[in-house]
Amino acid sequence: MVVTATLKQIRFEVPLYTVTEAATALGVPTSTFATWVKGYERHPKHRSPVRGRPIVTSFTASPRYPSIPFVGLAEGVVLAAIRKVGVPMQRIRPALVELSKEIGIEHALASRSLYTDGAELLYDYAKKNPKIDDDSIQDLVLVRRQQRVFVPVVAEYLKRIEYGRDGYASLIRLPGYDRANVIADPRRSFGQPIFSQGASKVRDVLERFWAGDDLATVATEFGISATEIEDVLRATSRQAA
Q: How far is CA 166 from CA 56, 77, 80, 121, 215, in A?
A: 20, 19, 24, 21, 41
CATH fold, domain 177-241, is Arc Repressor Mutant, subunit A (1.10.10)
Average pLDDT over residues 72-90: 94
DSSP string, 138-185: HHHEEEETTEEEE-HHHHHHHTTEEE-TTSBEEEEE-TT-SS--EEE-
Paired residues of 168 in beta bridges: 111
Q: What per-residue confidence (pLDDT) applies to 6?
A: 79
> What residue segments make up the domains of the chain, in order of their start?
2-171, 177-241
Phi, psi of 192 (to 5 degrees): -70, 150
* pLDDT, greater one: 3 or 173: 173
Q: What per-residue confidence (pLDDT) applies to 5?
A: 47
* pLDDT, greater one: 123 or 42: 123
Cα–Cα distance measured from residue 91 to residue 126, given in angstroms and rounded to the nearest whole number? 11
For helices 202-210 and 215-222, angle between their N-to-C axes, nearest 10 degrees:
150
Q: pTM here?
A: 0.90
Tens digits of residue pLDDT in 195-224 = 999 999 999 999 999 999 999 999 999 999
Give residue 109's identity as a one-letter amino acid code. Answer: L
